A = this chain, B = another copy of it.
Amino acid sequence: MSTATAAPTGLRIGEVARLVGTTPRTIRYYEEIGLLPPGGEREAGRHRLYAPRDVERLREALRLKSLLGVSLEELKALLEVEEARGALRDEWHHGNPDAGRRGEILAEALGHVEQQLELLAHRRTEIARLERELTAKRSEMLERIRLLSSA
């Protein structure tokens, strides 16, 4: 058998940042606070390398952040869903067919998803309420303008 480890290929941090519309500094910072997993195993000093999957995860994280306006700490909690999915995938592939463990992980991830859904639903209805109020305001304004210009 060959002792050669898989050729370490992947996107570099600058390219990733460009792809998702942020900066290398931000990516490193997210890794630093534990929001993102370290960019591939590497010995200190070597370049971080990212797979397309990592790019997608980052994109998703930034999307959640801008959409919900949450702190990075809250975002971290929200992203635990993905971590759980990752853990699950590991258990699945890594030859651990312990059904009980899988069930635990699934149940936990499910809980997180439902929590997120609650948050989103609440947010959405609040926004909808605000939209209705503003629409009413707009109608009133349009009516006033109509009255003015017909005078």
Contacts and interface: CB of A to CB of B under 8 A. Distances in A.
Interface of A: 63-64, 66-70, 99, 102-103, 106-107, 109-110, 113-114, 116-117, 120-121, 123-124, 126-128, 130-131, 134-135, 137-138, 141-142, 144-145, 148-149, 151
Contact of A106 (B120, B123, B128, B144): B144
Nearest to A120: B131
A95 to B, nearest CB: 17
A121 B117 contact: no
B113 A124 contact: no
A116 B134 contact: yes
A138 B102 CA distance: 15
A117 B138 CA distance: 10
A26 B134 CA distance: 26
Contacts of A131: 117, 120-121, 124
Contacts of A142: 110
Contacts of A103: 145, 148-149
